[in-house]
Structure formats: structure tokens, C-alpha cells
Chains A and B, each alone.
Chain A
Amino acid sequence: MSRDFTPKVITANALIEGDVIYFTADNAWTRHLCEAEVLTDEADADLRLLQAQAQPHLTVGVYLADVAPGATGPEPTHFREDFRRKGPSNLFHGKQADGLAHVQARAGD
């Protein structure tokens, strides 16, 4: 018996900056998990993974990561993906700092 397919997003690291990126519905890459495309069908996920892997000049290490639906978009289900989304816990660096800039930039729109 096959296990139920859990929702997933496609994630990788950016080739130049090395930071965490997510694949969007319009075939682009975003720095923000909340903007990622959520895949709920296994066959669709496999196809989208192939499409995402077809951009090796932008990415390194493309893979599917589990998520759960949340109020503001997909939420990580494993703590490793939560750290990848946020950044290190000892210093306010990485996504959490970049994300603050992102939110501030959006507020200024």
C-alpha cells in the first residue's frame, strides 16, 4: 500500500549566493517559502521537479520538501526546513534578516 502523498514544495540553493530558494508556479525562483508553489499531486510533483532541475545555471541541489498548509502559505513540517527558511538561531543573519528587508520593501510599495 502506498503512503498518501503529502504536500510539497521544490527547493534548492541559489548558484551564486548559495541561499535557500523555492520554485514558484510561474517557473521562477523565490527567496520566500510563502511564495512557493505547493504540489499536492505526486505525478505533478515529479514533473515539476524535472522542470525545476532544468535550470542548473541558477540552482544547486533541487529537491522536494514536505510542507503543511498554513494561514500565510506553506509551512515547513521538519525543523531542518524551518531553519532553512529562517536562518541560524545564534545570529540574526540569513533569511530572517533578508526577510525583514523583504517585508519592509513590500510595505513601502
Chain B
Amino acid sequence: MYHYNDFDAAFVAERNRQFRAQVERRIDGSLTEDEFKPLRLMNGLYLQLHAYMLRVAIPYGSLDAAKLRQLAYLAERFDKGYGHFTTRTNIQYNWPTLSDVPDMLDALAEVEMHAIQTSGNTIRNVTSDHFAGAAADEIEDPRPVAELIRQWSTDHPEFQFLPRKFKIAVIASDTDRAVMKSHDVGLRIVERDGERGFEVWIGGGMGRTPMVAKRLRDFLPRADLLPYLEAILATYNRIGRRDNKYKARVKITVHENGLDEIRAQVEDEFPRRRAVFGGEDQALLAEITGAFAPPAFKTSDPAPYFAARDADPVFRAWSDTNVTPHRAPGYGSVTISLKAHGATPGDASADQMRLVADLGETYGHNDIRATHAQNLVLPHVPLADIPAVHAALKTLGLATGNIGLASDIIACPGMDYCALATARSIPVAQGIATRLEELKIEHEVGHLQIKISGCINACGHHHVGHIGILGLDRAGVENYQITLGGDPSETTAIGTRTGPGFAYDEIVPAIERLIFAYLGLRQSEEETFLEAFNRIGMAPFKAALYDAEARAYAAE
């Protein structure tokens, strides 16, 4: 875990002091809302449907017990006792008052956290693999590079007023657990001829014009990372469209100019940028890398883990889905589901956060992660301790064994909270998960990712859901479009629309029909929903969705 140096601490304290004064001036009338709005957004403060919302960055999803306990304290002291983990591995507080926010930011600074650049047309929170440092298939821990990018991009004077927001993800394995190709820039750490560097992807994104990122560079030497990123950002800053908000993301810049032209302009800019980097960044990266040194893994006998699996079918089922193999022998990574059937995806109460903090501290080398799929992870737990972790999780409703299954749904806040939303998402997720639990079929169904967005901006990643659901306002009524065949993994794909949308009270039965259709169509239990869809195409799923509906009408 990286710890703030004096510079980081002084910078955050100064920003907090400035924002406190800005809030005071807004309240005493010296600043109008038009003047204040960009200032509050720079500090992660939105005004939503029912209240202000403070979005706090969790850089590359990494937490420790002290940080998570402080997030719990904020939830209890300044909110309604809970927080909401998002698809950008941020945490959102839904109910703060304007006058409390400066105190919240000071409380965050105590544990080296902030809300800077969680909004606005800036470089947003850098995301990474939630199993970083633990995954068996990674070539190195990608978080030091993510931290370097965080430091470089925070308050970077040239990139505070980009045409639009800019999101970066860093991974270090073939398997993509961070939706890397749906980012404005995606970086994959690779090795070529014994040298480490980056594969650079550009122009991925969701929103109203979903695009899969394109490969800008096959291999970027390690030391060239920041100047190359500067060349990309400078090019985008210069030619990105500012005349139309919907065409302002870099994916459109790449699409309209063509990848070759973008590459030519970036490569043209690169030498000028490279010349001013004298190696300080690499010295800093070396220092940062030291802070992410792997914990001292213990050798312990995993027998209790296997004994618990044999003795307790509930534990066995949970560990089948929620425990992932670890690179260190005798260890596992535990994913803690924030998707109990019927609960709000991504919500955690203060008590739940404190329990996870305790477990991370006691059993998990004090390392905790937030995932883009709105769950929490204890990346390093000795297998022998996992039964105790599971028993503790059960006490606060955190032992749902559904990671990667159909009820492990990503859902944006939707119109229950968000001012931009066109329909609700949370109750749809609750409805689907509750129905799956009634039917007791999700283990039979297997791996299935359902993702729900409450508007075209696609915070709920619906475009890359195996089943995607998009909530819209059709003539003053909530209406839900379905897409199929999206894929958030390294074989990224954008889903295809099935046809007309469904009303609020029809969407859960429609998803149920899709799931039963899949069970009837799959070749074997091993063939996943996505594999079945890719093999047989849209037609039978469409028939399940719409023919059944037609039959129901005919029967009336």
C-alpha cells in the first residue's frame, strides 16, 4: 500500500482548505451556483435527485483496514449509515449536507484519501485488476504503475479542462478483470525480449456510442509511459471535439480521425514530451514499487480449508464461487459479495465495512480491494483461515456465494438517486436476484453477467453484460431495452439489442425467459450463456423473449 509523502499530504490539505473556503463563500452568497458548480465537481461533489452525493476515489480499488474503517465512520457520521461502491471502484455517499462536506474531506485526508478528480473533464480514478498482487497469471503487480499515473494525473495543469472525462485502466495479465478495453486508455503490462513495457489501447468506452478500444502501440518501453500518455492527452486536448458533448470522448476522436492519424499525431508529439522527462518519474516509480512489495506469505497447512469444504456444503458452494486461486501456495483470494439476493448491488453498511476491515487486518495481510463489479476482495488469505472468514461474513449478511453468477449484477444507482438517470436500475437488479433465489437455479445456470444501466451513459456497463439492460424514459414511462452477447473480458464485445424494450413490471419475467431459454439451448452444463449465444445467435433468444410475450397477449 502506497503511503502519502509530505508533498501528497500537503497538497490534499491545501485543496481541502481551499474547498472549505469555497463552500463558505457559496453559503454566504459570495459565489453563485454557476461559479461554485465547477469547484464542487472538481472535489467530487454532485447534486443528485434527493441530496448531494460525494464520490470518493479508491485509487485502483486498494484499501486497508484503516481506510475502510474511516469510510465506515463517514457513512455513520455524515450519511445514513452506508456507502455505495461503484463500477469505477469509487465509493459514493448519497446523503451528505453541503456544510458537512469539508469535514468529510478532512476526515478522508486523515487516511490518505480524497475526492479530487472523481468528476469533471479530467483524468479520473485509475482502475486496475482487483486481484493485483495475488493473481497467478499476472507478470507483475500493476498497481505501482497505476499509482504513478495517479500522482502524475492529479492536478496536472495541462489536463484539467479536457474535452471530456478520461478513464485509464492498467492490467498485467492476459485475463482482463478490469474491463480494460472499455477505457479511454487501457494499458497492459507485457514483456518483450526480456524487457517490460506496455501494450497501449485507446478509444474504448461505453455511453451512447460504445466502442472497443483499438491497439495504439504493441510495445511501449516502460520508461516512456508518462511522456507517451502526455502525447496522447495533448493530442486529444487539441483535436478532441468541444462543440458537442456527445462527441467529445476520445473514442469519437479516434473514430472520426482514424487510428492511423491519431497514432501519427501522438508519435509526432511524443519526442517533445519525452525530452522533458529526465528519469525522475522512473526513480519515483521505483520508490512506489517498494511500497507495493508483496506481504510475507506464510506457509500453513491448507487442510482445514479442504476439511470445511467436505463437511459443510454451504461453505463448499460459497468457496466454489467466491474463492480464487492465489499465486502463493496455501493462499486464496476471497471475494465478498455485496449482492445478497434482494439487496442493493454495491451497498455496504458501516458495520459491514468495519467487519471486512477487521477480517482484512486479522486474516488478509491488511489488504482489501473494491472491484469494478461492486464487490470487495480480501486478496491474500491463507486457505486455512478462509472457514473463519466465511463464518464471520455470515454474521452480517456478507456470505452470499454468487460471484460470477446471475445474481452478481452490476447496477448503477439509476433514478433512485442519479439526476441523469432516465429509469430505475436498483429495483430491477433486486427483482432479478430475488427471482433467481426463489427458483434456486443460478448455480445450475453458472457464469452469467447481467449489467444494468439507468441511462445511456452506461455506468452500469450494460453494453458488456452477457445480458445488458438499459432503462429509458419512453413517453414518460420506464422502459427497458435488452442487449445480448456483451463481453467485459479480454475478448471484449458490445452486446446487440434484442428488439423492443419491456415495461418495468415485464423486465424481470423477460430475463427469466432468457435464462430458461439458455438452459434449454446449451449443449452441455459447461457451455456458458455467452458461449451458447455466440454459437447459436440471437434468434432463439429473441423467440423466447417476444414469442412468449405474443402468446401471453393471445391468451388474454
Contact = CB atoms under 8 A, between A and B. Distances in A.
Contacts of B29: 56-57
A18 interface: yes
Interface string B85-104: 00000000011111100000
B50 A87 contact: yes
Contacts of A89: 416, 424, 426-427
A57 B33 CA distance: 9
Given A13-B47, A15-B27, A56-B29, A83 B427 contact: no
Contacts of B478: 79
Nearest to B477: A79
A57 B29 CA distance: 6
Interface string A70-81: 000000011110
Nearest to A13: B47
A24 B47 CA distance: 22
A80 B415 contact: yes
B476 A84 contact: no
A15 B51 contact: no
Contact of B95 (A79, A84, A93): A93
Given A56-B32, A83-B416, A89-B426, A94 B51 contact: yes
Contact of A16 (B27, B33, B416, B476): B27
A15 B415 contact: no
A93 B93 CA distance: 13
Given A16-B98, A17-B97, A93-B80, A84 B27 contact: no
A19 B51 contact: yes
Nearest to A17: B97
A56 B50 contact: no
A79 B424 CA distance: 10
Nearest to B79: A93
B289 interface: no
A90 B426 contact: yes
Interface string A60-78: 1100000000000000011
B51 A17 contact: yes
Contact of B33 (A61, A77, A87): A61
B49 A16 contact: no
A15 B99 CA distance: 9
A9 interface: no
A65 to B, nearest CB: 13
B47 A20 contact: no
Contact of B417 (A17, A20, A77, A88): A88
Contacts of A90: 344, 416, 426-427, 430
A79 B504 CA distance: 12
Given A18-B98, A84-B49, A88-B416, A56 B33 contact: yes
Contacts of A15: 26-27, 98
A18 B51 contact: yes
A8 interface: no
A95 interface: yes
A88 B50 contact: yes
A57 B26 CA distance: 8
B52 interface: yes
Nearest to B34: A56
B47 A18 contact: yes
A107 interface: no
Contacts of A100: none
Contacts of B80: 91, 93
A94 B477 contact: no
B493 to A, nearest CB: 30
B420 to A, nearest CB: 11
Nearest to B82: A91
Given A16-B97, A89-B424, A91-B344, A84 B477 contact: no
A34 to B, nearest CB: 18
Interface string A19-41: 11000000000000000000000
Contacts of A83: 49, 415-416, 424
B50 A19 contact: yes
B539 to A, nearest CB: 34
Contacts of B47: 13, 18, 60-61
Interface in B29-79: 29, 32-33, 47-52
B99 to A, nearest CB: 6
A89 B454 CA distance: 14
Interface in B409-451: 415-417, 424, 426-427, 430
A62 B426 CA distance: 27
B50 A20 contact: yes
A80 B96 CA distance: 21
Contact of A18 (B33, B97, B473, B477): B97
- Of the listed residues B26, B51, B94, B477, the one surrounded by the most CB atoms of chain A closer than 10 A to its CB is B51
B297 to A, nearest CB: 40
B467 to A, nearest CB: 21
A5 B181 CA distance: 48
Residue of A88, A91, A94 with highest tally of chain B CB at under 10 A: A88
Nearest to B429: A90
Contacts of B27: 15-16, 57
Nearest to B100: A16
Q: Which of B27, B94, B416, B424 has the most CB of A within 10 A?
A: B416
Contacts of A60: 33, 47
B426 A94 contact: no
18 contacts: A13-B47, A13-B51, A16-B99, A17-B51, A18-B48, A18-B52, A18-B97, A19-B50, A20-B50, A56-B29, A61-B33, A79-B476, A79-B478, A83-B415, A83-B416, A87-B50, A88-B50, A90-B430
